[in-house]
Amino acid sequence: MQPFDPKAYEREVVRPLRGRSGRLPDDLLTRYAVEPGCSDAELAQRLTQVRSHWNKSAQSTAKSSFTTSVYKAFLREDEELRRAHGDAMSGMSWWRNRNIDRAGASKEQIDELVGMLKASFGELGLITPGQLAAMRETFGQLAPAEVDQALDKAGVQTATPRELPKISGLSETLFRRLKALLGDAEVTGIPELLHGKLKNYRLLVDFDSTPSFPTGLTAKAIQQAIDRENRRSGNQAAREALGILNTVVGKDGADLRLLALYHLLDDVRRLRENGAPASALLKVLGRSGLDAGEVRQVVVSVLSETGTTAPPVTGLQKVTDLLADGQLIAAQQTLAAITDTDEATAAKAAVDRHAEQVRQLREAAHRALRGGAEGEARRQLGEAARLAADDDAIAAELRRIPLSPVDAVTAQPEGVGVRVSWRAKPDHDDGTRYRVVRRAGRMPGDADDGDVVAEGGATAVVDAAVAAGGRVGYAVFAAGDGGVWSRPVGATIDVLPPVHKVRLAVRGGAVEGSWVVHRDAVGVDVRRRRDGESADVPVPTSGGTAFRDSTVDTDGDCTYLLTARYRRPDGTEVSAEAVPVRHTARVAATLPPVTSLDARRFGGELVLSWVWPEDVRMAEVTWTNALAGTGGGQLRLTRQQYQADGGCRIGAGPGTVRAQVSAIATADNGESRSLPAALEVPGAPPQVSYRVERQNRLFGTSTARIVLTADQPVPDCTVLVVVAPGRVMPLKPDDGHVLHRGVHDLREPLELTVELPRRKPFWLRCFVHAAGIELIDPPISQLKVS
C-alpha cells in the first residue's frame, strides 16, 4: 500500500468537496485512502493515519473554513459508521464487500449523470466550473473521480469562461454603420473583408488563419484590401467599410482584433437575450469561419455573462433613444455633451425635427380649441405630450383643455320629476364625470350657475326635487380626472308633470281610478268620454288622487282624461298634458307606454334603454336597418332580463336603425300592449381596422402581412402603407416612405404583403383616403419595430 501523503489527500479528496451541502460521497475507500488489496494490519495503520489527519485538520486555524468543514463532516460520519458497524470495520472483508455493493448503485448514478450531461451540455461540449460544481452537488453520492468518469463518457470538457470585449472602441452610430456595410458587402466579418474567404481563423488571443496572412489584422492589411478593392468594380459597401477601418485604426488607434471579435459577439449576444438556445448560437457563430474550438469557447462565455453586455448609450444613439421615449427636453440637454461633429449635427437635426413636430401639434390643438373642437384639441395636444413627456408645461396645458361637451341632451317628464339624459362623446372614457345643473327660467351658463342636481359617471338622471309650474333649464357638463368642466349643453322644459301610475278597477258597479301626481299640483280634472259622443262628462275627484264614477255603464267602453293643473309664478293656472286611460269591458288593466326611450351604440351593437311603467314585466322590441342586406328583427324580453343585461342589446348593424318598444301585459282574457315608443338612431361611420404580422428572417428581406377589415362595405377606398425610419410614429403619409398605394373595394378582408427595411428602428402604419371612414390602428407592438 502506498504511503499516506496528507498534501495529496487534501488536494485530490478534500478540496473537490468544499462548499457542498448534503451527504458526503459514499466511496469509503477513497475517503479513508484505503486500497482494496491491503491487509488487515495495513488497514489498521491507514485508519489511524487518516483519523489523526482529520482531527488535526478540523482544528487547524491555518486552513480555510470550507476545508475544515469537510474534515469535520468526515469525523461526524466516521462516528456514525463506528457505532453502526463496530469491529467489523477493522477487517478488509467489510471494506471489500461494501465496495462491491456500492459499485452497482454508483454505476446507475454515473449513467444518469452521463445522460444529463449529454442533454444539457453535449451539443456545446463544454461545462463551466460553476455548472460542474452544481452537478457534483446534485449527484452527491458520487466521488469526484466518478464525476470525472461521467464527463469523459459524455464527451464534455470543463472550460473557464473568458472575459469578452463589451465595447467596440467606436461610437455606437459608427459601429452600427460599419456593421450594416459589412452586411451589404456580403462578408461575415472583418477578417473576410480584409483577406477574402478563410477556411478558419482564431481571434480570442491572437489572430491567425488558414490560409495564413502575415499582415493579420493591421493597418497594412487594411491598405492592401483597399488597393485590391480599388482594382475591382462595384461593391461600394466594402470600400466604405474599409474607409471606416482605415480611419479608426490610423487616427484613433482602434484594436482591430477586439473590434472584429466584438462584431461577431453583437448578434450572438442579441440572440442570447432573446432566449436562443446554445445550438442556435453555435450555428450563427459557426458561419463566420471562426475556429470551432473558439466558437464553443465564445458561446460558453456569452452564456455565462451576467448583467448587461451592452455598452452605455451615448451621443446620437442616446438622443435617438430619448426622443423615442418622449424625452424631448432631456434630448435637448444631451446635445451639449456630444463632441463628435457629425454626430452632433445629426442629433441636432433629429431634435429639431422632433421639436417642430411638437410645435405643429400644439398649434393644431390651439386652432381646434378656438374652433370649438375640444376633442380634436385634446387629441393633438395629447400626441404632443407623448412626444415631449418631460415637458410639464404641455402636460399642464393638456389638463386645462376641457373635454368635448356632451351630445343630445334631452329633458322629459318622468313620474313626478324630470329625466335628463345625454350621450357621451368619443373622447369621454370610464373616468369621465358629469355634472347636471338646474336653473329656473333659463339654461345655466357654467357649472356653478344654479343648483347641482347630480354629479357622477351616469349619462341619465331623474330630478325628483324640481318645482312644478314653471320653465326650468338644465345644463350638462363633462370633465376628466382633475380637469376643467366642458362647455354646457342643455335643454329647457316647462315642468308640468302629468299624472302617472293610473289604475282603473270596477268595484260595486262603479269604475274607480287612482293616480300619483306632483306635490305642486293644485288639482286634477277628470272627464269621461264615451265612444261616439262629443261631449265629455266631468267626474268628481276625491282628495286629488282618486275618483269613483258610479254613473258609468261598466259594460261599455269609454276613456277617462286626467289633467293635472299647476299655478305659474305669476298666479295663473296652467294644465299639464291630459293622460287618456281606457276602460273596456274586456281588458282587465290599462297599459301605459314605456317612456324616455334612448339608444347608444357600442361597435355593431345597439343598447336600448327606457323607463318601465309600474308593474309592467314584459316588452316587445322591433327594429329595422336602412343598410341594405342588414335586415331587422323582433324580440321580447322580461324586465328581469333587461336589468341583468343593462338594457336591451340588439345586433342592429352599422346603418340607420328605427326601433319601437311596446309594453306587454297578459290577462286571463288575452294580451294587451301599449302604444309603441319609437326612436331613430343614425348610422355609424364605417370603421376599418387592420393587423400587422411581421415575418422576420435571419437572412434575406423580412416582410409584413397586413390584413384590413371593414365593418361595412367601403368601395373605392385608397389604402396607403407607410414605413417611417426612426422612433417617431408617422402621423400622416408624408412622414415616411409609401410602400403601397392602391384603390381597393373593402367588402371582404384585404390582405397586403410589403417588404420591410433592414435598418431599425422604424414604424409601419396604414392610412386610408375615403370620406367618413374611421381607421383603427392595432397595438403599437405591431407597428413599431426596434
481 lies in a domain?
Answer: yes
Nearest to 616, CA basis, from 696, 574, 673? 673
Domain boundary among 650, 681, 712: 681
Residue 604 reports pLDDT greater than 80: no
One domain, residues 362 and 299 = no
pLDDT over threshold 60, residue 653: yes
Does residue 249 sit in the same domain as residue 376? no
Same domain, yes or no: 354 and 472? no
Judgement on whether residues 192 and 283 belong to the same structural domain of the protein = yes
CA 288 to chain centre: 38
Rg (C-alpha) for the chain, rounded Å, is: 44
Q: What is the pLDDT at residue 629?
A: 54
Kindly state whether residues 122 and 199 are assigned to the same domain: no
**Are residues 112 and 238 located together in one domain of the fold?**
no
Q: Which of 315-319, 616-620, 675-679 has the lowest mean pLDDT?
A: 315-319
When pLDDT is cut at 50, 70 and 90, the band that residue 538 belongs to is very high
H or E stretch covering 127: strand 126-127
For residue 164, being part of any structural domain is answered with no
Query: Strand, coil or helix: what is 371?
Result: coil
Query: Which has the minimum average pLDDT: 316-325, 462-471, 748-757?
Result: 316-325
pLDDT tens string 106-137: 777 788 888 888 887 888 888 888 888 777 77
The CATH code of the domain that includes 490 is 2.60.40.10
Asked if residue 10 and residue 148 are part of one domain, the reply reads: yes
Which of these ranges, 159-168, 288-297, 602-611, 751-760, has the smallest mean pLDDT? 602-611
Gap between the Cα atoms of 748 and 714, Å rounded = 9
Q: Is residue 587 scored above 50 in pLDDT?
A: no
Angle between helix 315-324 and helix 172-184 axes, rounded to 10 deg: 90
Give yes or no: residues 13 and 142 share one domain: yes
- Per-residue pLDDT, averaged over 360-380, amounts to 89
pLDDT reading at 379 higher than 70: yes
Does 416 lie in the same domain as 396? no
Residue 577 cell numbers, joined: 298634458
pLDDT at 771 over 70: yes
What is the percentage of the chain residues whose pLDDT exceeds 90?
35
Cell numbers describing residue 786:
426596434
Final residue before a domain boundary, out of 655, 681, 707: 681
164 contacts 265 by C-beta, under 8 angstroms: yes
Per the structure, the count of domains in the chain is: 7
**Are the C-beta atoms of residues 562 and 526 closer than 8 Å to each other?**
yes
Determine the angle formed by the axes of helices 256-273 and 278-286, rounding to 10 degrees.
Answer: 150
Domain for residue 510, yes or no?
yes
CATH number at residue 736: 2.60.40
Q: Are 655 and 677 in a shared domain?
A: yes
Q: Which pLDDT does position 677 carry in this prediction?
A: 92
Establish if 384 belongs to a structural domain: yes
Q: Is residue 589 part of a domain?
A: no
Burial class (CB in 10 A: 0-12, 13-18, 19+), 312: exposed
> Does residue 165 form part of some domain?
no
Query: Is it the case that residue 465 has pLDDT exceeding 50?
Result: yes
**691, pLDDT greater than 80:** yes
pLDDT of residue 22: 57
224 domain-assigned = yes
At 668 the pLDDT is 47
Beta pairing partners, 454: 436
| Distance, CA of 320 to CA of 726 (rounded, Å) | 8
pLDDT band at 307 (very low <50, low <70, confident <90, very high): low
Closest CA to 673 of 593, 581, 561, 588: 593
Beta bridge partners of residue 472, listed in sequence order: 440, 493
- Write out pLDDT tens, residues 697-716: 766 678 999 999 988 888 88
Residue 270 reports pLDDT greater than 70: yes
Domain limit, last residue, from 312, 345, 380 = 312
Q: Quick one: which of 705, 765, 762 has its CA closest to 733? A: 765
Same domain, residue pair 200 and 85: no
Q: Where does the pLDDT of residue 26 fall: very low under 50, low under 70, confident under 90, or very high at 90 and above?
A: confident
Same-domain status, 73 and 192: no
Q: Assess contact for 205 and 293: CB atoms under 8 A.
A: no
Mean pLDDT of the chain: 87
**Mean per-residue pLDDT for 531-550?**
88
Confidence of residue 312 (pLDDT cuts 50, 70, 90): low
| Domain-located, residue 120 | yes
- pLDDT at position 580 over 70: yes
Provide the whole-model pTM. Answer: 0.42
Note the pLDDT of residue 52: 92
Could you tell me the residue range of the domain that residue 150 belongs to?
A: 6-158
